[in-house]
């Protein structure tokens, strides 16, 4: 069975392997370059003791690597890509009817489905662990600057990559098993994955645990906290727009004056911060991973049940 699964997935494994290799090469080259600039520019030193030049250093580093860092966000699609790549041969087997050949050899379909699913999930875990390791290393400079709680870091580090990939493969397998048509199954899995993944990130993740709301005069926040919202508020507790504040402080359009903290404190204007403290990182990783892995377990159970009971 292991031989057969490997032989059936050989082409997909080669495509996936080639992609992983190209990706690893790209991340290694850019990652090493970024790490050396990080040292060279002296960004690390600024983190321990802030000197007047640090603002310029920080901007220089971000100017140089910001585009790259934004491009890497696209790698969020990798769990989906690998999930579908792993699930497709299984779906094709059900579509093309070759399962009738395998299930009438001296092997039960229960054993067949258990072994296949086991191997595919194991492959998904291995691939996503490799990706997590690679991306976590690559992001080291940004993690030190900004922490890893905001989506740019959270999505690639910890345990969520594994959970996303296992969920994607389970979704591809379950939909393919129910429909017995590979292309519609791939399309539905794509949409299903993106809706859940983006929906949770946008609406659910900021509130897994109620965020901390803090009122400060100077806006002090740890770099690694995940800032969700920030606004200015007057003594009466009303939210102020930037224009309101300018008017209050007597700044008129065209005059080049910066808002001074003294003006703000004089009028009792404070900054209200809504954020998730950095020490909740692993708790949130756990919650999000549990959601995706729980759904994946349900989908895999459905696949096994369907194969055992509903396919002839």
What size, in residues, is the chain? 312
Rounded to 10 degrees, what is the CA torsion of 243, 249, 254, 257? -120
Work out whether 267 is an interface residue with another protein (CB under 8 A). Answer: no
Work out whether 56 is an interface residue with another protein (CB under 8 A). Answer: no
**Among the listed residues 49, 63, 97, 236, the single contact to another protein using CB under 8 A:** 97
Distance CA 262, CA 268 (A): 10
Judged by CB under 8 A, which stretch of 41-49, 91-99, 202-210, 250-258 contacts another protein? 91-99
Question: What minimum distance in Å lies between the beta carbon of 59 and another protein?
Answer: 54
CB within 8 Å of 219: residues ≥ 6 apart:
230, 271, 273
CB within 8 Å of 149: residues ≥ 6 apart:
224, 225, 226, 276, 278, 280, 281, 284
Work out whether 96 is an interface residue with another protein (CB under 8 A). Answer: yes
Q: Which of residues 125-154 bind another protein (CB under 8 A)?
A: none
What ranges make up the beta strands (E) of the chain? 212-216, 226-233, 239-240, 270-276
Name the DSSP class of 203.
I
Question: What minimum distance in Å lies between the beta carbon of 231 and another protein?
Answer: 60
Count of helix runs (H) and strand runs (E) in the chain: 13, 4
Question: What minimum distance in Å lies between the beta carbon of 111 and another protein?
Answer: 9
Work out whether 103 is an interface residue with another protein (CB under 8 A). Answer: yes
Work out whether 12 is an interface residue with another protein (CB under 8 A). Answer: no
- Cα atoms in the 13 Å half-sphere on the side-chain side of 119: 19
Judged by CB under 8 A, which stretch of 94-102, 189-197, 212-220, 252-260 contacts another protein? 94-102
Work out whether 25 is an interface residue with another protein (CB under 8 A). Answer: no
Question: What minimum distance in Å lies between the beta carbon of 15 and another protein?
Answer: 14
Site for another protein (CB under 8 A): how many residues?
22
Binding residues for another protein, rule: CB under 8 A, are: 1, 3-4, 7-8, 11, 96-109, 309, 312
């Amino acid at each position: 069975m292991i031989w057969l699964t490997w032989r059936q997935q050989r082409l997909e494994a080669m495509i996936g392997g080639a992609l992983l290799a190209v990706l690893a090469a790209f991340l290694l080259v850019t990652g090493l370059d970024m790490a050396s600039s990080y040292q060279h520019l002296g960004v690390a030193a600024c983190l321990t003791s802030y000197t007047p030049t640090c603002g310029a250093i920080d901007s220089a580093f971000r100017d140089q690597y910001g585009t790259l860092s934004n491009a890497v966000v696209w790698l969020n699609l990798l769990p989906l890509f690998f999930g579908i790549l792993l699930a497709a041969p299984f779906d094709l087997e059900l579509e093309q009817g070759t399962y009738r050949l395998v299930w009438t050899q001296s092997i039960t379909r229960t054993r067949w489905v258990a072994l296949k699913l086991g191997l595919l999930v194991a492959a998904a875990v291995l691939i996503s662990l490799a990706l997590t390791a690679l991306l976590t290393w690559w992001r080291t400079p940004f993690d030190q600057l900004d922490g890893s709680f905001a989506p740019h870091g959270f999505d690639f580090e910890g345990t969520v990559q594994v959970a996303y990939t296992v969920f994607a493969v389970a979704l591809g397998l379950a939909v393919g098993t129910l429909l017995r048509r590979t292309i519609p199954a791939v399309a539905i899995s794509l949409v299903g994955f993106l809706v859940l993944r983006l929906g949770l990130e946008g609406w659910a993740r900021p509130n897994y645990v109620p965020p901390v709301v803090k009122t400060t005069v100077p806006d002090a926040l740890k770099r690694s906290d995940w800032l969700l919202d920030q606004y200015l508020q007057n003594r009466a507790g009303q939210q102020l727009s930037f224009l309101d504040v300018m008017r209050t402080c007597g700044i008129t359009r065209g005059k080049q004056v910066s808002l001074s903290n003294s003006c703000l404190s004089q009028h009792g204007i404070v900054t209200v911060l809504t954020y998730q403290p950095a020490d909740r990182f692993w708790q949130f990783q756990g919650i999000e991973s549990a959601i995706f892995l729980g759904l994946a377990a349900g989908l895999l159970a459905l696949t096994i049940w369907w194969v055992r009971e509903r396919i002839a």
